Structure 1
Amino acid sequence: MNAKDSNLKLVVTGLLLGILMAAMDNTIVATAMGTIVSDLGRYDLFVWVTAAYMVAVMAGMPIYGKLSDMYGRKRFFLFGLIVFLVGSALCGIAQSMEQLIFYRVIQGIGGGALLPIAFTIIFDIFPPERRGRMTGLLGAVFGASSVFGPLLGALITDSIGWHWVFYINVPIGIVSIVLIARCYKESLAHTKQRIDWGGAVTLVLAIVCLMFALELGGKTYGWDSVQIIGLLAGFVVFFAAFFMVERRAAEPIISFWMFRRRLFATAQLLAFFYGATFIILAVFIPIFVQAVYGGSATNAGLILTPLMLGSVAGSMIGGVFQTRVPFRTLMLISVVCYFAGMLLLGGMSPETSRALLTVYMVIAGFGMGFSFSLLPSASLHKLEPRYRGSANSTNAFLRSLGMTLGVTVFGTIQGKLFAGRLESALGAAAGAGADAAPPLGSLDPQQLFQPEQRAAIPEAVLERVTAAMSSSITDIFLWALVPIGLAAITILFMGGDRVQTSQEEAADRAADRRPGEVKTAGTK
């Protein structure tokens, strides 16, 4: 192994560690939230712990992407790592819920840089023939850490305390900082451009309004409340202002001319659809296992392992074959497997064996995994280096937006389905025997997740309640077939492009066909 290859491996290791932290953070914290609330109090504020982080991450993604195009990847990736670690350390020492929320904002400001810039660096330092394997590896880590987070969060919280859910980032991040600082030698020339402050401000305000509306709607405030309607109206106003500012900006935060390229536009839509449905699996399968099968929180985390393994396999295979097979063909394989896996999950019942659940998760995870490596590559296809950061951050932003919308919309639907079926189930149990069923208001669904309280529920009632929970979750899997079907239609419009080889890229340059620039790019 020569020194150059050894150096590149160290850079990739640093990038993988950064992605590991960023992708795992939300799921690992969500598992510890009950313990955090019991320690710090202020249950009324717990939703802000997630909302504050997500707002900061999503607001930062497009801005970091553009700044990395203008001033270099290394400095902003390192900046993101340092701020993320400072935020993590502060979260670990938080003494109140208000402090924790503020420190999560700091953590999110750094986290927004990690995922999109890591994928962009891979495209900068590797030739096309090696990018596929590398993006497959990064995508596999992203998918695996997102799924593995709940299990790790449960183990850390139960064994050494919730503070270490945040502290664990510090040693990982320090290693990543050292590797990137010492081993990544950025050689690309970057053109300094004017910063689009108007676009940055209006984009951040639009995202803040939308994210808080989604996080607080139906929980802290009703969807028809003045607060939520005002936030949604603010999103519409600021997003319209952002769009107008971007059309006039010399160097916009998001270059809308990219969306005139068919492959780029379809990749962004697919990132949104896949994000909206991927989050359903990570959230509702553990709930199904705990509430229907009666497993513990740790078992619920372990049960996601087949989903993780399937997604890793799909990401790696998609990465390896993207230089030989068109994006559209690979994504068609992806969506067929994804649709089939989700359909099978939608057909489950309390009698479904865990072995079958494992098979279904492997199929769904395999189909989903392709998107982790293929969609970033499709977003950057034939783009000049000075556009790659912006393109990749747009893709990561839309995937995150899809996840946020998905968990909000499908979570609301599941809650309403379960409430209606629970009422019917208890009514039926009461009809079977007056003493068999407690009043609706006295049965807390949380009892299903606590073994000792679950055992106290009469068998006839428990059977009906678990059936109501089971059907409400499996119906969500069936509802998820709608965006997956839309993804399948979108894939048909991707065209026949595949990742170019080095020789093909060189031929393009020799023919003066500059990748990434359509004739009207940069013109108004």
Structure 2
Amino acid sequence: MSQARNKVGVIIAGLLLAILMASMDNTIVATAMGTIVGEIGGLDKFVWATSAYMVAEMTGMPIFGKLSDMYGRKRFFVFGIVVFMIGSALCGMAESIIQLSLFRAIQGIGAGAMVSIAFTIMFDVVPPESRGKMTGMFGALFGLSSVAAPLLGGYITDYLHWIWIFYINLPLGLIAFILIVFFYKESAEHSKQKIDYLGCLLLVGAIICLMFAIELGGKAYAWGSSQILGLFVGFVFFSILLVFVEKRAAEPIISFRMFRIRLYTTTNLVAMLSGATFMTASMFIPIYIQGVYGGTATNAGLILLPMMVSSVVTATVGGFLMSKLPYRAILIPTLAILAIGMALLTTLTTESSRFLITIYMILVGLGIGASFSVLSSAAIHSFPAAQRGAATSTMNFNRSLGMTLGITIFGIIQSHSLTDRLTEAFGKSGGTKILADVDFNDPHVLLNPAIRQTMDGNTLNTITEGLSSSIVGTFAWSLIPAVLALSAAFIMSREKLDPNVEADGYAASH
């Protein structure tokens, strides 16, 4: 028994390493992008380096999840590790932004495989009585990585070199590869079925159109330009075709039949909506600290630590309670805390204390933490082992989509609000000049100490007030997905993790 337990522990370590690499690699690069562009050029194309990774990862999630159900988890998870390592090595050797973007796409393919399969492998190898604890650990790591990555990225870029943001994945990936290859013995049977190639192509087309529209809109092209409108039209067109094709496919990549189950549908809704709310707080609180209080970028990032720690608490507690309470009974109070935390953030002013902000961030962390652990278990609750890969990967896809849409939509709201307030305060010409001098789309350039010193007191106070009110107004808008996520939790069915039922399936596969 101890030997088997030790093997499970080793496998879990490999899975956690893989999740850490994949979930961190998107935001960790954003911090270093200014330095990267300064060295290899491509300021007009740097957005592609982010878009390529996100498109490849999000497209790969449901595809690899389904393939793992059909042909086995191990081969595709190991494939993901290898491809991610190859992409990381190539990124560190990139000599142009075009090369970096292509290599980031390779990374994204590997990340899509790892993220979509890791949770499913965990449920395959962990005994039912330990799954709550393990799910809490996985969920906490997922949440931690999303806010810790910018801090790590900034540190590596400042004190080492940006290439180590990518090269650090090589030893971590090698360890994960060894642990999974030598210790994960897959025992479940998998039925080989026909691959839905048309569904794959349509999914890729829809995601490419949506992600590039989101990434390029308001940056490379105006939101009302023919390019961006064309991308949105392409997304709608491919999405309609995808639904039509998948409903008739024998083995669809995304099975819309799964959404007939109430628990699964509401789980995906909660994941998408809470993800959008969480990323809004994670993105704008550091900017608030740096812009309103004049803190450094590092200090601004550190303000997220209380939220990180509190999210670990509820992620762990949520995992522990899953076998004792229905999923909805855990999510309703925690999502209510999330909504309360976001509501309190709308009361911030330039006079608010750092202590008060810290309290509000702790509430946000407590509110989001349980979703990281509970939703993964709720997503697979209604499905046999042969469908868990597709169920988990689709839920992770929707969570990532919600985070991406949240960053984009609320970023647009805040940017327009700030522009309007500065234009009103300084007049059209004055506001234009201020905006030309400061890039408000870059939080690491926004009101940095050097720029602040060039401004007179009245100008600085006006910009500070405008920044504060624009961010607080954005928090008010983010209450909408927070309340909708809470509403979705209320209409969840009342299932809970049943160790006895799970134990039967676990014993049968082992």
Q: Give TM class, smaller chain.
A: over 0.9
Q: Is the 8 A contact 1:423 1:440 kept in 2?
A: no
- Per-residue deviation at 1:237? 1.3
Counterpart of 1:263 in structure 2 is 263
Q: Is the 8 A contact 1:82 1:110 kept in 2?
A: yes
Q: Is the 8 A contact 1:262 1:495 kept in 2?
A: yes
- Per-residue deviation at 1:454? 0.8
Partner-residue secondary structure (3-state), 2:46? helix
The answer to whether residue 485 in structure 2 is matched with residue 491 in structure 1 is no
The answer to whether residue 412 in structure 2 is matched with residue 412 in structure 1 is yes
Counterpart of 2:195 in structure 1 is 195
Q: In structure 1, what residue type is equivalent to 2:50?
A: T
Distance, in Å, in 2 between the alignment partners of 1:443 and 1:14 is 47
The share of aligned pairs that are identical, in percent, is 51
Distance, in Å, in 1 between the alignment partners of 2:36 and 2:197 is 37
Are the structure 2 counterparts of residues 503 and 267 from structure 1 closer, same or farther at C-alpha, using a change threshold of 3 Å?
closer
Q: In structure 2, what residue type is equivalent to 1:222?
A: A
Q: In structure 1, what residue type is equivalent to 2:438?
A: D
Q: In structure 1, what residue type is equivalent to 2:479?
A: L
Q: In structure 2, what residue type is equivalent to 1:462?
A: L
Distance, in Å, in 1 between the alignment partners of 2:233 and 2:436 is 38
Distance, in Å, in 2 between the alignment partners of 1:24 and 1:281 is 17
Unpaired runs of 5+ residues, structure 1, are 431-436, 511-524
Deviation sequence 1:75-126 (CA, Å, 0-9, x none)? 1111001101110111111111111011001110111011221111111112
The answer to whether residue 221 in structure 2 is matched with residue 213 in structure 1 is no
- Per-residue deviation at 1:128? 2.3
Counterpart of 1:347 in structure 2 is 347
Counterpart of 2:465 in structure 1 is 467
Distance, in Å, in 1 between the alignment partners of 2:74 and 2:493 is 33
List aligned pairs for 1:355-374, cutoff 5 A. 355-374=355-374
Counterpart of 2:12 in structure 1 is 12
Distance, in Å, in 2 between the alignment partners of 1:509 and 1:129 is 13
Deviation sequence 1:303-337 (CA, Å, 0-9, x none)? 21111111111111111100101111101011111
Are the structure 2 counterparts of residues 247 and 507 from structure 1 closer, same or farther at C-alpha, using a change threshold of 3 Å?
closer
Q: Is the 8 A contact 1:296 1:449 kept in 2?
A: no
The answer to whether residue 479 in structure 2 is matched with residue 481 in structure 1 is yes
Counterpart of 1:279 in structure 2 is 279
Distance, in Å, in 2 between the alignment partners of 1:340 and 1:242 is 38
Deviation sequence 1:330-388 (CA, Å, 0-9, x none)? 01011111011111112111211111111111110111111101111111003100000
Q: In structure 2, what residue type is equivalent to 1:471?
A: S
Are the structure 2 counterparts of residues 157 and 225 from structure 1 closer, same or farther at C-alpha, using a change threshold of 3 Å?
same
Deviation sequence 1:158-187 (CA, Å, 0-9, x none)? 001111111111111111111111111111
Counterpart of 1:502 in structure 2 is 500
Are the structure 2 counterparts of residues 188 and 392 from structure 1 closer, same or farther at C-alpha, using a change threshold of 3 Å?
same
Q: Is the 8 A contact 1:127 1:502 kept in 2?
A: no
Q: Is the 8 A contact 2:77 2:114 kept in 1?
A: yes
List aligned pairs for 1:53-132, cutoff 5 A. 53-132=53-132
Are the structure 2 counterparts of residues 439 and 506 from structure 1 closer, same or farther at C-alpha, using a change threshold of 3 Å?
closer
Are the structure 2 counterparts of residues 463 and 117 from structure 1 closer, same or farther at C-alpha, using a change threshold of 3 Å?
same
Q: Is the 8 A contact 1:132 1:322 kept in 2?
A: yes
Q: In structure 2, what residue type is equivalent to 1:107?
A: Q
- Per-residue deviation at 1:444? 2.2
Q: In structure 2, what residue type is equivalent to 1:285?
A: I
Distance, in Å, in 1 between the alignment partners of 2:156 and 2:507 is 52
Counterpart of 2:387 in structure 1 is 387
Are the structure 2 counterparts of residues 413 and 185 from structure 1 closer, same or farther at C-alpha, using a change threshold of 3 Å?
same
Are the structure 2 counterparts of residues 251 and 299 from structure 1 closer, same or farther at C-alpha, using a change threshold of 3 Å?
same
Q: Is the 8 A contact 1:316 1:373 kept in 2?
A: yes
Partner-residue secondary structure (3-state), 1:480? helix
Are the structure 2 counterparts of residues 507 and 397 from structure 1 closer, same or farther at C-alpha, using a change threshold of 3 Å?
closer
- Per-residue deviation at 1:441? 5.5
Across the aligned residues of Structure 1 and Structure 2, the Cα RMSD in angstroms comes to 2.0
Distance, in Å, in 2 between the alignment partners of 1:255 and 1:445 is 43
Counterpart of 1:226 in structure 2 is 226
Distance, in Å, in 1 between the alignment partners of 2:5 and 2:157 is 39
Are the structure 2 counterparts of residues 413 and 442 from structure 1 closer, same or farther at C-alpha, using a change threshold of 3 Å?
closer
Counterpart of 1:173 in structure 2 is 173
Counterpart of 2:246 in structure 1 is 246
Distance, in Å, in 1 between the alignment partners of 2:2 and 2:408 is 50
Distance, in Å, in 2 between the alignment partners of 1:493 and 1:313 is 25
Q: In structure 2, what residue type is equivalent to 1:455?
A: Q
Q: Is the 8 A contact 1:81 1:173 kept in 2?
A: yes
Are the structure 2 counterparts of residues 24 and 220 from structure 1 closer, same or farther at C-alpha, using a change threshold of 3 Å?
same
Q: Is the 8 A contact 2:124 2:506 kept in 1?
A: no
- Per-residue deviation at 1:289? 1.4
Q: Is the 8 A contact 2:128 2:502 kept in 1?
A: no
- The two structures have a TM-score, normalised by structure 2, of 0.95
Are the structure 2 counterparts of residues 504 and 211 from structure 1 closer, same or farther at C-alpha, using a change threshold of 3 Å?
closer
The answer to whether residue 438 in structure 2 is matched with residue 444 in structure 1 is yes
Distance, in Å, in 2 between the alignment partners of 1:504 and 1:15 is 21
Q: Is the 8 A contact 1:448 1:454 kept in 2?
A: no
Q: In structure 1, what residue type is equivalent to 2:13?
A: T
Distance, in Å, in 1 between the alignment partners of 2:495 and 2:371 is 16
Q: In structure 2, what residue type is equivalent to 1:19?
A: I
- Per-residue deviation at 1:448? 4.5
Deviation sequence 1:260-300 (CA, Å, 0-9, x none)? 11100100111110111121122111111111111112112
Deviation sequence 1:35-94 (CA, Å, 0-9, x none)? 111111111101111111100001100000000001111111110011011101111111
- The two structures have a TM-score, normalised by structure 1, of 0.93
Distance, in Å, in 1 between the alignment partners of 2:505 and 2:102 is 52
Partner-residue secondary structure (3-state), 1:190? coil
Partner-residue secondary structure (3-state), 1:186? coil
Partner-residue secondary structure (3-state), 2:382? coil
Q: Is the 8 A contact 1:376 1:392 kept in 2?
A: yes
- Per-residue deviation at 1:504? 7.0
Q: Is the 8 A contact 2:51 2:215 kept in 1?
A: yes
Q: In structure 2, what residue type is equivalent to 1:444?
A: V
Q: Is the 8 A contact 2:438 2:447 kept in 1?
A: no
Q: Is the 8 A contact 1:326 1:496 kept in 2?
A: yes
Distance, in Å, in 1 between the alignment partners of 2:229 and 2:5 is 54
- Per-residue deviation at 1:32? 0.5
Are the structure 2 counterparts of residues 454 and 259 from structure 1 closer, same or farther at C-alpha, using a change threshold of 3 Å?
same
Q: Is the 8 A contact 1:294 1:448 kept in 2?
A: no
Q: Is the 8 A contact 1:139 1:369 kept in 2?
A: yes
Are the structure 2 counterparts of residues 270 and 88 from structure 1 closer, same or farther at C-alpha, using a change threshold of 3 Å?
same
Aligned residues: 504
Distance, in Å, in 2 between the alignment partners of 1:508 and 1:122 is 12
Counterpart of 1:517 in structure 2 is none
Distance, in Å, in 1 between the alignment partners of 2:388 and 2:204 is 21
- Per-residue deviation at 1:217? 0.9
Distance, in Å, in 2 between the alignment partners of 1:245 and 1:118 is 28
